[in-house]
Structure 1
Amino acid sequence: MSLITLQNVDYGVGGPLLLANVGLSIDAGERIALIGRNGAGKSTLLKLLAGDIKPDDGEVRVEGGVRIARLEQEVPAGAEGDVWDVVAAGLGQLGAWLAEYHHLSHADHVDTDALARVQSKIEDAEGWSLDQRVTETLTRLDLDGDALFSGLSGGMKRRVLLARALVSSPDVLLLDEPTNHLDIAAIDWLEGFLKAWPGALVFVTHDRRFLRALATRIVEIDRGQVTSWPGDWANYERRREERLNAEAQENARFDKLLAQEEVWIRQGIKARRTRDEGRVRRLKAMRSERSQRRDLTGNVRMEVAQGDASGRKVIELKDVSFGYGGQAIVSDLSTAVMRGDRIGLIGPNGSGKTTLLKLLLGELAPTLGTVKLGSTLQVAYFDQYRATLREDWNAIENVAEGRESVEINGRPKHIIGYLQDFLFTPERARAPITRLSGGERNRLLLAKLFAQPSNLLVMDEPTNDLDVETLELLEDLLSDYQGTLLLVSHDRDFLDNVVTSTLVMEGAGHVGDYVGGYTDWLRQRPETAASLQPAARPAAQAVASATPAAAAAKRKLSYKDARELEQLPVRIEALETRLSELTEAMNAPAFYQRGSEGIATHNAALAATQAELDAAYARWAELDG
């Protein structure tokens, strides 16, 4: 049953429509991942679904009695008071009366008259059951109702706001970047919670593992068009690639025909006799159609300004301890960071990851032990709180700092051109940064960071608010970086794809040192570190229990299956090479000079190779599982 239906919805904010002729329905119980490039209109669509804004044209129809709640991307400015107040605010006016009753009844000196007045209002509205619901929601999300909201960490504030959204028992829950500022344990908990939640869910996220774990349908916003893709993320990626290839072919065919017509119109007056007026009109229509085409948004073109090579040993810690107020943050840590290492720092919010970073960089002196920094270090620092951006400067001023160009690996580049590589138009680059979205600010920080020559790159939560395409490009860039990387991140896929080792805050001052990324740490971690992941989630427990003993219990393969497993990597590599060759051939100008039959044959070979590759990966997972 459809809970919310959008029919022919248009919405614009100047220029081309942000959302054009949207048709979409949200059914009971489904979990929809809403994806698209930064600025594509994802948050806008959530606001339309919530009824917070109205469409310019078309209709948003909500079935009678359907309750909708929305978790915003940023903590709202008006959220204040204690946690009980903030959560109760999700019940509207009745929630305000319940919050007032809660305060009056918990005061040292009870005002009986005021208490009686508000009690009467709640009784008239039959609201006592909702008072119990607030208490149950706080318990369910492990929140202290008496804690002051303003004193909570960013992750805990997000959990409180989720409680506020849930307290009204919505039929449809809208979540905008719910994993922002959450640590890995909280993200894992949220995954499990939302999987068990019975209502319909529409969410925006940059966390690919979170998306894959939850989504039953993908809805994409691309150049104003909203397209629904049933199934999981892997199915979406494959089918989207096919659609983009078909679109590129059609555009190439159209552009070739248009070019031919432009040549004809320039041949002179003889070609434009009265009997050819229909052809002239067709050319005008084609020009109009081409001018209205919205081309695919380009990708960020990132390049790091490489500094001089550092010494072989970048940082060395010997028997380092550090703490605050008698609480150990780091105890007896000895480790060495070598040139070219890519190290991830993992741990719950508040566990001391930033403190460990400062110890590694020599910004904090240890209580005990020694920290030795290598020679000729050039450090570039990405700050998750964006404190390095000046709010009174625009994007150009923040990156160029008075210069007209930046120098990237010995090549000068005009600041406007450099910022265009990070998808800033000249107008956007000159706009005050107070008008930039979260994703734009993160891209601006990356632009500022990568303009600095460095051989030690320090990145504290760089993935927040970035779209998937930019995330994947950033992964490739960091993997090719010639210097040393220290990375704090709660994005599990990002850690797996970038780092070569991890330092894990395991509690009581112990810092574990592990080879590999996040998934490798899960396999290697001692039982004492299991508290970093919630025990309630079966999937997490299954991964965590993959100890050597558990691995030994895997089923024994037959000779034939073992032989097949041994040969699969070679087969997969050959198929990936073949797929790359077929895709590369489509990028050549001569490709579109073939006849339609040749193009169709090529596309069939591409689809068949992709299917073979998918089957080979599935078989590998089956045999190696």
Structure 2
Amino acid sequence: LPTAVDRKVSDVVREGLADQQALIDQFNELSQQTMDKQGLKNLEELQAQIDASGGWQVDKQVETIISQLNLPADKTLAQLSGGWRRRVALGKALVSNPDLLLLDEPTNHLDISTIEWLEHKVRGYQGSVIFITHDRNFLQKLATRIVEIDLGNLVSWPGSFQNYLVLKEKAIEEEETRHALFDKRLAEEEVWIRQGIKARRTRNEGRVRALEAMREQREQRANRQGKAKISVETSDKSGRKVIEARSICHGYGGEQLISNVKIKIRRGDRIGLIGNNGVGKSTLLKILLGQIEPDQGSVKLGTNLEIGYFDQIHRELETDKTIAENVGNGKEYIKINGKDRHIIGYLRNFLFAPKRAMTPVSALSGGERNRVLLAKLFSQPSNLLVLDEPTNDLDVEMLEVLEEQLMEYQGTLIIVSHDRAFLDNVVTSVLVFEEEGQIQEYVGGYSDWARRGKDLKIADTQDHPSGHIVDHDTTLHAKKAPTGKLSYKFQRELDALPAIIDKLETELAILQEQTADPDFYSLAFTETQPVLDRLAEKQQTLDIAAERWVELEEMKG
């Protein structure tokens, strides 16, 4: 992320065109001089370079990307949160339209609408893109090849992320079979060598050397990093009513974040919060937990509540203390599921080696801090888990283990996350921040809500580090009021859509079956790419048709 926090956003974005601006400055300087034939030739070459690098309209290029990302051009980075600084960094990278775009965890701290804008931008990008991400939706939608760092080696897997998962699982199974056969043969040779005198005969020296080589090979076989083994400590059941918010209103600086909202959360509910950065998701959590008093209305907490709270800012962690001290509260043993566990052994489940467990939190990466906070949180009994952006900086394997445990969790869940796959897999309903401070509940996960024709505008607030933010422009696209009857034209369109959707789904299924075949990716690029392009085109057409069907049905009422 940009580090010069005293600089204006527009100046930081303009840095992405530094080479182009240097060529223009050089051209302007040369054009003021008296030139001979060689000078004119140099000027022509400079002009060609400028045209090739993006042209003469540097200001327009900067203004365009600032507009697309809704960046606050005149603010300094010091006035922006981490999420908005990441947007500025994206603007700087995208403004020059480079041949190769490198993105390192581009979705971290971005809200869903900006992630989807970025997906659209990258999908239409003409150059090559290399990106690192833990966002599985982002990966599945954009990647045409996966390059994995496996035990220090780079391994290339053709096709989509889903195809990689299938091929990877098959490769692991084959490797385990090879290892089992090797180990069986090694065991047989070890039995032979223990026979003594027969093994030491001269004519068997070759076999002895072969055994020594096998031992060395077995010793050098790198063991894969163990899979995280998370377990969530649960307490006794809470009361049936967990939280009830009545007509709550809240705002900052005269601007309304939450307006006359009523929320009832019952035992066993699994709720996700959806909204752009700055609409007040974290504020709502604090109000529901009683940490902030609403300006109006009341919040009533249920009985027998044991609350576990994951704070995305990691306030629960003492950075001067070690991982073990933070999680164990200075104790050598902690109680997990009724049994005493040594803190070092418990932290191994969260992929912290003994030496790493003695590291101060101040020296940890963002992902490691998240794992520490999860380890601390899950060691404490709870029947209500409140997780504010728990997936930030976690790798895919850790994400999947976390999902598995949360899906088995018997208590109540409230989750804020920009990870669409995580929401789809874990929650059963979503609370969506709509226009004018309204919050509406929808059954299902993120994709279920999106299939109803919903989306979030990219426009939202340039939130300040204090978090005291408000935004009237962050709303859902407005729905047309139901009329009860459609015009003849709209009714004909509605009648035709089911057949169109069925046809598209059939065509899409055929293409998906074709690309799911591992042999498909052994074909030449000129054969696979047209199929992948058709697949993306059909999916986009289907999404548009389904969205239109929902819109017409809602107009009809």
1:85 is the counterpart of 2:36: no
The answer to which of 233-242 and 188-197 deviates more is: 233-242
Q: For each residue in 1:326-369, what CA deviation from the matched residue of structure 2 results, as whole angstroms up to 9, or x when unmatched? A: 22221222221111111101100000111111111111222222
The count of corresponding residues between Structure 1 and Structure 2 is 462
Residue 142 (structure 1) shift: 3.5
Q: 2:216 aligns with which of 288, 308, 314?
A: 288
> Do the aligned residues in 1 keep the contact of 2:2 with 2:89 (CA within 8 Å)?
no
Residue type at the aligned position of 1:204: I
Contact preservation (8 Å) 2:2, 2:85: no
C-alpha change, 1:360 and 1:97, in structure 2 (3 Å) is: farther
| Distance in structure 2 (CA, Å) of the matches to 1:143 and 1:530 | 20
Q: Which residue of 1 aligns with 2:443?
A: 515
Structure 2: gaps spanning 5 or more residues: 34-45, 460-475, 485-490, 510-541, 547-557
Once the 2 structures are TM-superposed, how far is the Cα of residue 556 of structure 1 from its aligned partner?
A: 9.1
Is residue 270–residue 426 contact of structure 2 (8 Å, CA) maintained in 1?
A: yes
What is the correspondence of 1:93-108 to structure 2 with a 5 Å cutoff?
none
1:469 to 381, 397, 408: 397
Q: CA deviation at 1:202?
A: 0.5
In the other structure, the counterpart of 1:441 is 369
Mark the CA change 1:96 to 1:458 in structure 2 (over 3 Å): closer, same or farther: farther
**Where do 1:439-518 residues align within 5 Å?**
439-518=367-446
Deviates more, 1:435-444 or 1:350-359: 435-444
Instruction: Specify every segment of 5 or more residues in structure 1 that has no aligned partner in the other structure, as ranges.
Output: 1-74, 102-116, 535-540, 566-621
Structure 1 counterpart of 2:110, which letter?
Answer: L
2:261 paired with 1:333: yes
The match for 2:346 among 384, 409, 418 is: 418
Could you tell me whether the CA contact under 8 Å between 2:143 and 2:161 is conserved in 1? Answer: yes
Match of 1:302 in 2: 230
Displacement of 1:80 after TM fit? 4.0
Amino acid in structure 1 at the alignment position of 2:56? S
Q: Percent identity between the aligned chains?
A: 51
- Residue 287 of structure 2 is aligned with which of 359, 376, 396? 359
Deviation, 1:159, is: 1.6
| SS of the residue 2:373 aligns to | helix
Letter aligned with residue 196 of structure 2: G
Amino acid at match of 2:239: G
Task: Rate the CA distance shift 1:318–1:123 in 2: closer, same or farther, 3 A.
Answer: farther
Q: Taking structure 1 as reference, are residues 352 and 121 closer, same or farther at Cα in structure 2, changes over 3 Å only?
A: farther
CA distance 1:199–1:373, shift in 2 (3 Å)? same
Change (3 A) 1:350 1:118: farther
Taking a change above 3 Å as real, the CA distance of residues 95 and 395 of structure 1, as seen in their structure-2 partners, is: farther
TM-score (norm 1): 0.68
| Equivalences for residues 188-267 of structure 1 within 5 A | 188-267=116-195
1:474-623 matches, cutoff 5 A: 474-524=402-452, 530-532=455-457, 553-555=497-499
How do 1:26-65 and structure 2 match up within 5 A? none
Alpha carbons of 1:397 and 1:531: their partners in 2 closer, same or farther (altered >3 Å)? closer
1:428 alignment partner AA = R
Aligned-residue offset at 1:187:
0.6
Say whether the 8 Å CA contact 1:514–1:524 is kept in structure 2: no
**Other structure's SS at 1:554 match:** helix
The C-alpha deviation readout for 1:425-471, integer Å capped at 9, x for no partner, is 11111123333333222211211110111111110111112122221
- Residues 97 and 121 in structure 1, CA contact (< 8 A), matched pair in contact too: no
Note the 1:66-77 alignment, pairs <5 A.
75-77=1-3
SS at the partner of 2:291? coil
- Measured at CA, do residues 397 and 97 of structure 1 come closer, stay the same or move farther in structure 2, by a change above 3 Å? farther
User: Which amino acid in 2 is paired with 1:83?
Assistant: V
Distance 1:205 1:366, change over 3 A: same
One-letter amino acid matched to 2:403: E
Conservation of the 8 A alpha-carbon contact between 1:83 and 1:160: yes
Aligned to 1:129: 56
| CA offset digits 1:180-221 (Å, max 9, x no partner) | 011011111111111111110011111111111111111111
Which 10-residue stretch deviates more, 215-224 or 415-424?
A: 215-224
User: 2:523 aligns to what?
Assistant: none
Q: Decide whether aligned partners of structure 1 residues 121 and 426 sit closer, same or farther in structure 2, where only a CA change above 3 A counts.
A: farther
Q: 1:501, 1:517 within 8 Å by CA — same for their partners in 2?
A: yes
Distance 2:28 2:323 in 1: 54
Q: Assess if the C-alpha contact under 8 Å between 2:199 and 2:208 holds in 1.
A: no
Residue 508 of structure 1: SS of its match in structure 2? helix
Residue deviations 1:387-435 (CA, integer Å, cap 9, x gap): 2222211211111121001111211110010000111111111123333
Picking from 92, 103, 106, the partner of 1:164 is: 92
Q: Distance in 1 between matches of 2:496 and 2:257?
A: 36
Report the residue type matching 2:235 in the other structure: G
1:404 to 332, 357, 374: 332
CA-based RMSD:
3.4
8 Å CA contact 1:347, 1:532 repeated in 2? no
1:123–1:440 CA distance, 2 compared to 1 (3 A): farther
